[in-house]
């Protein structure tokens, strides 16, 4: 089957959702309430098209000069005033629509599209055209005539409207695609989402996808659960990566299986980040490492490592990269895409995620977290990355060490548990291996202590020394 020719939007995430971009010569509705981002999105697409050698006719129903629109676009990175009147032409049909009606607008569009040799037509004001029509048939006729003329000259059409076009609207049946933009509040956060509600002739990625507006324009983050599955690299149980603590490596049967996902669970102060530093310290040319964290600043991480006799600074920029994502209004899928981009561009083989709670805080719809983590882990396995991630347990001291949700535990390859408990008025740190998929491991509980050169494992603790904890 012959693939349809595509007109790229110039927005990587959107093109990914649209299976490569808009179908050339097709027509689409982009809809959303005022402030949702329609104007920015359409202009960004227009300037990307011009940059690729195309020509754009941008039609508005503004009664005033377009200069105010240009001033709004000026701060955005994609806007290029040098293209105005050259490869991209803005015209207003407000007066024509008011004085002469839809038929005159169609004639004007036919004339201008041909005169400008346009390959992309943006019509901003479909709602106004609908309001000017006497019947649904008039709306259908208007859309059909604009489409017909555009198709005749090989032009793709984007209709913008602030109304919600549904299956009941005549224009819905006429166009090849409908893209929804929404801007809503989730608690105190603004959440911007995009959905392809109709995509005739191609399979778009379904569901809601987050996007953001910045100085660069619009960036779209496809929901990672919707991405095509990649061939998963098998976990190589016979090939081990040292975790950096000799005693713990021995408990693990030689280290972490290559390509596996390991969860390091424990309360605050139990040594999770310290253990991650040991893991990172074993970075090499053959095993580049990435720290992807939410809590420790790079400087604090370096100082913590130096206190353990580990000079991470000597490895940075060569075999180690430290990235910190502040706990702000993070977008869950943005975090995933940023992480995967770093892994792929740097060829990362050792990854320390400190910690999974940062992703959890970024989730607007928490029930999707299980599917999110499952897909993220699959992507990391497919890249052949050995991953160590932390999970904060609420209980600071005691035997109740509730593990992460059973569903999350099930999709992990390995799980290491760090615990704190009191004995004879002393705080005892302990480590145990809860799970190792397809590998033998030491099932005993060992004491852990902080030494001048980092974590040090003591001998196995007796059953009397280790309080039981409830199974969940």
pLDDT tens for each residue of 431-463: 999 999 888 899 999 999 888 778 888 888 876
Identify the helix (H) or strand (E) that includes residue 379: helix 369-382
Q: Which tens digit of pLDDT belongs to each residue from 430-439?
A: 999 999 988 8
**DSSP H or E stretch at residue 178:** strand 177-186
Q: What is the CATH number of domain 6-222?
A: 3.40.50.300
Alpha helices in 29-75 (DSSP H): 38-51, 67-73
Q: What's the rounded mean pLDDT across residues 181-197?
A: 91
Percent of the chain's residues with pLDDT above 70 = 92
Summarize pLDDT for 242-282 with one digit per residue, the tens. 999 989 999 999 999 999 999 999 998 889 999 999 999 99
Mean pLDDT over 465-470 rounds to: 60
Out of 42-46, 92-96, 326-330, which region has the weakest mean confidence (pLDDT)? 326-330
Angle between helices 298-307 and 272-281 (to 10 degrees): 80
The percentage of residues in the chain with a pLDDT greater than 90, rounded to a whole number, is 59
Backbone angles phi, psi at 332, to 5 degrees: -55, -50
So what's the pLDDT on residue 8? 95
Res 216 pLDDT > 90? yes
What are the two backbone dihedrals, phi and then psi, of residue 379, each rounded to the nearest 5 degrees?
Answer: -65, -40
**pLDDT at residue 350 tops 80:** yes
pLDDT at 465: 65
pTM (2 decimals)?
A: 0.89
Give the confidence band of 168 by pLDDT, cuts at 50, 70, 90.
Answer: low
State how far Cα 46 lies from the chain centre. Answer: 24
Whether residue 363 contacts residue 369, with contact meaning beta carbons closer than 8 Å, is answered with: yes
29, 10 Cβ separation under 8 angstroms: no
- Cα–Cα distance, 372 to 431 (Å, whole number): 28
CA-closest candidate to residue 383, choices 218, 232, 273: 232
Whether 6-222 shares its CATH topology with 236-460 is answered: yes
CA 14/CA 11 separation, integer angstroms: 5
The Cα 277–Cα 301 span in angstroms is: 8
Q: How many CB atoms lie within 10 A of CB 82?
A: 7
Residue with token string 């659960």: 225
Does the pLDDT value for residue 64 go beyond 80? no
- Dihedral sign (CA 397, 398, 399, 400): negative
Please determine, for residue 41, whether its predicted confidence score (pLDDT) is greater than 80. Answer: yes
Judged against a pLDDT cut of 60, whether residue 402 lies above it is answered with no
What pLDDT does residue 309 have?
87
In tens, the pLDDT along 69-127 reads 999 999 999 999 999 999 999 999 999 988 998 889 999 999 999 999 999 999 998 87
Report which DSSP code applies to 308: T
Q: What is the pLDDT of residue 311?
A: 87
**How far, CA to CA in Å, does 238 sit from each of 80, 182, 192, 235, 350?**
56, 49, 45, 9, 17
Of the ranges 48-62, 116-130, 226-240, 447-461, the best mean pLDDT one: 48-62
Per-residue pLDDT tens digits for 372-395: 999 999 999 999 999 999 998 865
Computed on alpha carbons and rounded to an integer, the radius of gyration of the chain in Å comes to: 28
469 has a pLDDT exceeding 60? no
Residue 397 has pLDDT above 60, yes or no: no
Q: Which residues contact 133 (CB under 8 A, 6 or more apart)?
A: 102, 139, 142
pLDDT in the model for residue 401: 47
94: helix, coil or strand?
Answer: helix
Whether 265 contacts 416, CB under 8 Å:
yes
CB neighbour list of residue 350: distance below 8 Å, 6 or more residues apart: 241, 279, 280, 282, 283, 287, 288, 289, 290, 385, 386, 388
E-strand ranges in 369-445 read 386-392, 414-423, 426-436
pLDDT at position 233, please? Answer: 64
What pLDDT does 194 receive?
Answer: 97
CA gap 312, 322 in Å, rounded: 9
Give 406: exposed, middle or buried? Use CB within 10 Å, 0-12, 13-18, 19+. exposed
Going by the DSSP 8-state scheme, the letter that residue 268 receives in this structure is: T
What span, in angstroms and rounded, lies between the C-alpha atoms of 401 and 382? Answer: 31
The three-point CA angle 190-193-197 to 5° equals 155
**pLDDT at 403 exceeding the cut of 60:** no
Between vectors from CA 17 to CA 185 and to CA 381, what angle results, nearest 5°? Answer: 95
What's the mean pLDDT in 36-51? 97
Confidence of residue 16 (pLDDT cuts 50, 70, 90): very high
Q: What's the confidence (pLDDT) of residue 396? A: 46
For 424-456, b/e burial (b = at least 16 CB within 10 A) is eeeebbbbbbbbbeebebbeebbbbeeeeebbe
pLDDT, position 323: 94
Provide the 3-class DSSP secondary structure of residue 391: strand
What's the pLDDT score for residue 255?
94
Give the pLDDT score at 471. Answer: 44
Phi, psi angle pair for 429, to nearest 5°: -100, 140
Boundaries of every domain in the chain? 6-222, 236-460
Fold (CATH) for 236-460: Rossmann fold (3.40.50)
* Region 311-323 average pLDDT: 90
* Residue 467 clears pLDDT 70, i.e. is over it: no
């Amino acid at each position: 089957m012959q693939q349809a020719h595509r007109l790229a939007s110039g927005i990587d995430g959107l093109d990914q959702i649209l299976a490569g971009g808009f179908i050339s010569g097709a027509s689409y509705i982009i809809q959303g309430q005022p402030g949702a981002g329609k104007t920015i999105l359409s202009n960004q697409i227009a300037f990307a098209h011009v940059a690729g050698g195309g020509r754009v006719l941008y039609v508005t129903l503004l009664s005033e000069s377009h200069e105010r629109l240009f001033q709004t676009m000026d701060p955005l990175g994609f806007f290029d005033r040098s293209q105005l009147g050259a490869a991209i032409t803005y015209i207003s049909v407000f007066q024509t629509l008011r004085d002469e009606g839809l038929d005159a607008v169609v004639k004007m569009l036919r004339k201008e599209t041909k005169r400008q040799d346009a390959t992309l037509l943006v019509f901003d004001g479909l709602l106004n055209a609908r309001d000017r029509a006497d019947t649904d048939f008039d709306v259908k006729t208007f859309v059909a005539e604009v489409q017909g003329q555009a198709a005749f000259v090989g032009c793709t059409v984007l209709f913008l409207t602030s109304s919600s076009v549904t299956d009941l609207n005549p224009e819905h049946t006429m166009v090849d695609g409908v893209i929804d933009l929404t801007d809503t509040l989730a608690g105190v956060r603004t959440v911007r989402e995009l959905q392809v509600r109709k995509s005739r002739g191609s399979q778009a990625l379904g569901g809601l996808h987050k996007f953001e507006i910045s100085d660069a324009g619009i960036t779209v983050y496809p929901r990672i659960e919707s991405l095509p599955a990649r061939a998963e690299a098998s976990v190589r149980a016979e090939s081990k990566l040292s975790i950096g603590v000799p005693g713990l490596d021995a408990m693990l049967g030689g280290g972490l299986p290559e390509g596996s996902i390991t969860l390091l669970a424990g309360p605050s102060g139990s040594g999770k980040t310290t253990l991650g530093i040991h893991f990172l310290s074993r970075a090499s040319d053959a095993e580049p490492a990435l720290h992807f964290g939410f809590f420790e600043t790079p400087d604090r991480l370096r100082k913590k490592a130096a206190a353990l006799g580990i000079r991470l600074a000597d490895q940075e920029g060569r075999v180690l990269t430290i990235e910190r994502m502040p706990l702000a209004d993070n977008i869950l899928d943005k975090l995933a895409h940023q992480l995967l981009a770093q892994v792929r561009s740097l060829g990362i083989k050792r990854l320390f995620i400190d910690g999974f709670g940062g992703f959890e805080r970024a989730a607007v719809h928490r029930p999707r977290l299980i599917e999110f983590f499952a897909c993220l882990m699959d992507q990391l396995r497919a890249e052949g990355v050995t991953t160590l991630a932390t999970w904060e347990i609420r209980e600071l001291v005691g035997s109740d060490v509730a593990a992460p949700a059973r569903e999350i535990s099930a999709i992990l390859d390995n799980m290491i548990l760090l615990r704190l408990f009191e004995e004879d008025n002393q705080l005892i740190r302990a480590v145990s291996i809860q799970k190792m998929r397809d590998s033998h491991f030491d099932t005993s509980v060992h004491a852990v202590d902080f030494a001048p050169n980092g974590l040090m494992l003591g001998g196995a603790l007796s059953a009397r020394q280790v309080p039981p904890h409830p199974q969940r």
